Amino acid sequence: MKTLLNVLLGSLAGALAWPAAALNVFTCEPEWAALAQELGGDKVSVFSATTAQQDPHRLEARPSLIARFRNADVLICSGSELEVGWLPLLFTQSGNARIQPGSPGYIEASQYVIRLEIPKVIDRALGDIHPQGNPHVHLDPRNIAKIAEAVTARFAELDARNADAYRARGEDFGKRWQQAMDRWRGEAQSLKGMPLVVYHKDMSYFINWTGMREVGSLEPKPGIPPTPTHLAELVEQMKRSPAKVVVYSPYNNPGAAQFLSERTGIPVAPLPFTVGGTPKAKDLFGLFDDTIERLRAVTK
Ligand SMILES: [Zn+2]
């Protein structure tokens, strides 16, 4: 009898030792899913609404997404209106109060960093202008460090039972990230001052961090697809003052970058942009490793 009880108690303890994930995390973009996984480990179950191949500005609020949204305890999105075209619909359709703006479960990553390109005048005729500044904040590793601290604090608040575990993971990630940043700073030295053409203004934080120089974009205005007139102008501009590289992200159509490259001889570098964007960008560390490596490769 006693043995049976011991077995029962033993299996109960076993079940308690491996509980289901404590927090369901809904993220809008893969970089935040990767960060949540780093910081939450087996205490979290993480979902990303978009993959690296999908445009985070535009997404269909399909039923499967609404179901995920309804079950979420935490939401992590870039914010600053990046998801303005689809996230509000998920909020109204899911009725999930835990992750509504202002609640502890709502994390808008861009609110924890200094935003670039805050417009002085809001004129929608200039394209997808974000009044709160450029929302693509994740490609400056210093921003990732700040956002990681905010996410750790929020995880600990929402799931107090595992607070110590989140803090330990947060500290470990912070150390590894700092070491990686020191290495990247050295590796990115040769990128300083390098002129580049972007597809969309989604590289601004990386450019600001490395000291590269954006001299043109394939989109005539943010969010407006490349036009023949604009591309013809860029070709002329590049003949007068050539960029070193033309970059684009996996969710962009590569055609315009190739067009410009063929007419000017400037090399093209497809960049991962986010986690999962290239085979090497398996996590946040790989994302920066591969982005820097690909840009260095075209300058050699
Ligand atoms: Zn954008």
* CA 168 to ligand 1 centroid distance, Å: 34
Is 126 a residue whose pLDDT tops 80? no
* CA 189 to ligand 1 centroid distance, Å: 26
Tens digits of per-residue pLDDT, 144-173?
A: 999 999 999 999 999 999 999 999 999 999
Q: Are 77 and 108 in contact (CB under 8 A)?
A: yes
* CA 83 to ligand 1 centroid distance, Å: 9
User: 272: closest CA among 255, 289, 296, 297?
Assistant: 289
Rounded distance between C-alpha atoms, residue 232 and residue 104, angstroms: 49
Is 12 a residue whose pLDDT tops 80? no
Rounded distance between C-alpha atoms, residue 198 and residue 280, angstroms: 21
Rounded distance between C-alpha atoms, residue 291 and residue 253, angstroms: 18
Instruction: Tell me the CB-side half-sphere exposure of residue 30, using CA atoms within 13 A.
Output: 21
Residue 187, SS3 per DSSP: helix
Query: Could you tell me the pLDDT band of residue 99, with boundaries at 50, 70 and 90?
Result: very high
pLDDT above 90 covers a percentage of the chain that reads 87
* Average pLDDT for 266-285: 98
pLDDT, position 131: 84
Rounded distance between C-alpha atoms, residue 125 and residue 182, angstroms: 41
* CA 56 to ligand 1 centroid distance, Å: 8
Query: Could you tell me the pLDDT band of residue 262, with boundaries at 50, 70 and 90?
Result: very high
Adjacent-strand bridge partners of 24: 45
Rounded distance between C-alpha atoms, residue 240 and residue 10, angstroms: 76
Tens digits of per-residue pLDDT, 227-250?
A: 999 999 999 999 999 999 999 999
Task: Collect all residues with Cβ–Cβ distance below 8 Å to 20 and sequence separation of at least 6.
Answer: 45
* CA 132 to ligand 1 centroid distance, Å: 12
Rounded distance between C-alpha atoms, residue 101 and residue 83, angstroms: 13
* CA 190 to ligand 1 centroid distance, Å: 27
* Average pLDDT for 183-202: 97
Quote the tokens at residue 139: 């490609």
